[in-house]
A and B are shown apart, each in its own frame.
Chain A
């Protein structure tokens, strides 16, 4: 069963669509998903954010935990970004700004094929596998991130995972970002991204969100609400535009480029029917 993936996005109020600097890309076939947030204080950050997500969704580093692989993965992208700048025609300030490089967050998610129930049963017997999810299939995933774009995992209506930020006060005005600068012109910190491994069960929802929406979600959660329910209900881009507009108006959502990539693993038809039967039996 393929995951249902849907992206929603809205530029900062007052900015045009062309000025939107977040980026989303995904490959359902390869089960690779990426969201990035270009730092608006840098220039050509929109292109840098797009390059990062596209490349992640097409061909991420083979070993997501390898610093050297990340460095060699980034190098050709940095050259491509640099070569795409029209240096000859830039005025002095635009040239100097571009020489500082563009910066962006990057969150990449790789979801692997389901672990078959039969195999899980065997593994459990051999004490290789411990899981509460009985015989339901699960899908392992790995998420990597640089910066404050977040992953939230919802199961049974509850938030069970929040990565890499768990509390709203952990957001800062200056997150660590991936820079586009070439080494010789603008040394950048060599980094391994933060990495987390988890597993998906049928019925789970994953929300990948840039910082404004992530901050809102955690802040509302901390005050006892279940804000993800509003995001799970979204059907169309129009719904998202309306919701974000309301939240911005109410000053609960920061005016910023706002992006959500929602993934859902639908429960099987059988389990839906049995759920309905149970419901019916309870309330004849």
Chain B
């Protein structure tokens, strides 16, 4: 139970995203009047998948270090890749790289080498589209995750356990997430239990909270519920977060409250460094 298994092609790990697609996700993101929560979450997941692919890319192609999946929950609870991967569950990172739904072009500020910045057009592949419709069946989504990962864990007992990242803006409208979350975390490889991290995005303008250690740091009951079902950060991930100069306590949990877009991406990015790919 050490979370130190080397992530390699013979022992790949797994990332599974659970994304709230309920009607309230069409509301504005805190502090960003013109940005819907569902748009920023879709951007964040697409960027994360993009970064994960780059992390695994080598001259000869993309090495199979991870399997990746997305479950959307709102009007329905379904696999949520778009394009050629629609309907697929856990897909190897190489296959994900080869099959985005489409590739947009966006502009990005890059250093110009003279102390300033210049605009450059970059490719922005899309695998996941924003949707905001229906209720918040978080418990069902966690059950679906457990079902997918039961099979995955059985086939990868020597791997670093899966990391599940649940992104939501609201209260579950079914019986979730406590019992279902605990059942999901009980799935284990020889290297440790499945990790469940929760990211609570909110329309309220509150200071972002990242990796809190206790419920007392959180402002409302919903945040406390999501905190209590979140896994403690294993030591290797905690150390990686500390390399990023973050204050991370010994009992910090994988939880982000009211994280703005940048914080959300940073939070997810740290997760991708759970293993050592050297």
Query: Which residues of chain A have a CB within 8 Å of any CB of chain B?
Result: 14, 19, 39-41, 43-44, 46-47, 91-94, 96-98, 100, 172-174, 183-184, 187, 255-256
A184: B residues at CB distance < 8 A: 112-113
Among residues of B, the one whose C-beta sits closest to the C-beta of A184 is: B113
Report the count of interface residues on B (CB-CB < 8 A).
Answer: 26
Instruction: Please judge, given known A-B contacts A173-B243, A183-B113, A187-B113, whether A94 and B277 are in contact too, CB under 8 Å.
Output: no
- In chain B between 61 and 115, which residues have their CB closer than 8 angstroms to a CB of chain A? 61-62, 97-98, 103, 111-113
Contact in complex: A174, B62 (CB < 8 Å): no
Among residues of B, the one whose C-beta sits closest to the C-beta of A255 is: B6
Q: Is B32 an interface residue (CB 8 A)?
A: no
Instruction: Please judge, given known A-B contacts A92-B125, A94-B61, whether A14 and B9 are in contact too, CB under 8 Å.
Output: yes
Contact in complex: A91, B98 (CB < 8 Å): yes
A-B contact pairs, 6 of them (CB 8 A): A14-B10, A41-B55, A96-B57, A97-B57, A172-B243, A255-B6
Min CB–CB distance B57 → chain A (angstroms):
4
Report Cα–Cα, A256/B276, bound state, in Å.
Answer: 11
Contact in complex: B243, A93 (CB < 8 Å): no
Contact in complex: B276, A173 (CB < 8 Å): yes
B62: A residues at CB distance < 8 A: 93
Closest 8 CB pairs of A and B: A97-B57, A43-B59, A44-B59, A187-B113, A93-B57, A43-B58, A93-B53, A93-B97
Contact in complex: B61, A14 (CB < 8 Å): no
Contact in complex: A173, B278 (CB < 8 Å): yes
Contact in complex: B243, A174 (CB < 8 Å): yes
Q: What secondary structure prevails in chain A residues at the interface with B?
A: loop
Min CB–CB distance A18 → chain B (angstroms):
8
Q: What secondary structure prevails in chain B residues at the interface with A?
A: mixed
Query: Which residues of chain B have a CB within 8 Å of any CB of chain A?
Result: 6, 8-10, 53-55, 57-59, 61-62, 97-98, 103, 111-113, 122-123, 125, 240, 243, 276-278
Report Cα–Cα, A91/B97, bound state, in Å.
Answer: 9
A92: B residues at CB distance < 8 A: 103, 123, 125
Report Cα–Cα, A98/B60, bound state, in Å.
Answer: 11
A41-B55, A94-B59 given. 14 additional CB < 8 A pairs? A14-B9, A40-B58, A40-B277, A43-B59, A46-B59, A92-B103, A93-B57, A94-B61, A96-B123, A100-B54, A172-B243, A173-B278, A184-B113, A255-B6
A39: B residues at CB distance < 8 A: 278
A46: B residues at CB distance < 8 A: 59
Contact in complex: B98, A96 (CB < 8 Å): no
Min CB–CB distance A267 → chain B (angstroms):
39
A183: B residues at CB distance < 8 A: 113
Among residues of A, the one whose C-beta sits closest to the C-beta of B100 is: A92
Report Cα–Cα, A99/B125, bound state, in Å.
Answer: 17
Min CB–CB distance B228 → chain A (angstroms):
31
B240: A residues at CB distance < 8 A: 173
Min CB–CB distance B62 → chain A (angstroms):
6
Contact in complex: B243, A94 (CB < 8 Å): no
Min CB–CB distance A65 → chain B (angstroms):
25
Report Cα–Cα, A100/B98, bound state, in Å.
Answer: 20
A94: B residues at CB distance < 8 A: 57, 59, 61
A187: B residues at CB distance < 8 A: 111, 113
B276: A residues at CB distance < 8 A: 173
Min CB–CB distance B188 → chain A (angstroms):
21
Report Cα–Cα, A98/B58, bound state, in Å.
Answer: 8
A40: B residues at CB distance < 8 A: 58, 277-278
Min CB–CB distance A252 → chain B (angstroms):
14
Report Cα–Cα, A96/B55, bound state, in Å.
Answer: 11
Contact in complex: A41, B277 (CB < 8 Å): yes
Report Cα–Cα, A22/B238, bound state, in Å.
Answer: 29
B58: A residues at CB distance < 8 A: 19, 40, 43, 97
**Taking each of A19, A92, A98, A256, which has the highest tally of chain B beta carbons within 10 Å of its own beta carbon?**
A92
Among residues of B, the one whose C-beta sits closest to the C-beta of A18 is: B60
Instruction: Please judge, given known A-B contacts A40-B278, A173-B278, A187-B111, whether A96 and B6 are in contact too, CB under 8 Å.
Output: no
Report Cα–Cα, A273/B111, bound state, in Å.
Answer: 65
Min CB–CB distance A45 → chain B (angstroms):
8
Report Cα–Cα, A130/B233, bound state, in Å.
Answer: 56
Our pick among A19, A41, A44, A97 for the contact of B278 (Cβ within 8 Å) is: A41
B98: A residues at CB distance < 8 A: 91
Report Cα–Cα, A283/B107, bound state, in Å.
Answer: 81
Report Cα–Cα, A94/B111, bound state, in Å.
Answer: 21
Report Cα–Cα, A184/B278, bound state, in Å.
Answer: 27
Contact in complex: A97, B54 (CB < 8 Å): yes
Instruction: Please judge, given known A-B contacts A93-B53, A183-B113, A187-B111, whether A256 and B278 are in contact too, CB under 8 Å.
Output: yes
Min CB–CB distance A280 → chain B (angstroms):
51
Min CB–CB distance B75 → chain A (angstroms):
32
A44: B residues at CB distance < 8 A: 59
Min CB–CB distance B105 → chain A (angstroms):
11
Min CB–CB distance B3 → chain A (angstroms):
15
B6: A residues at CB distance < 8 A: 255
Report Cα–Cα, A44/B97, bound state, in Å.
Answer: 18
Report Cα–Cα, A174/B113, bound state, in Å.
Answer: 23
Contact in complex: B113, A96 (CB < 8 Å): no
A93: B residues at CB distance < 8 A: 53-54, 57, 62, 97
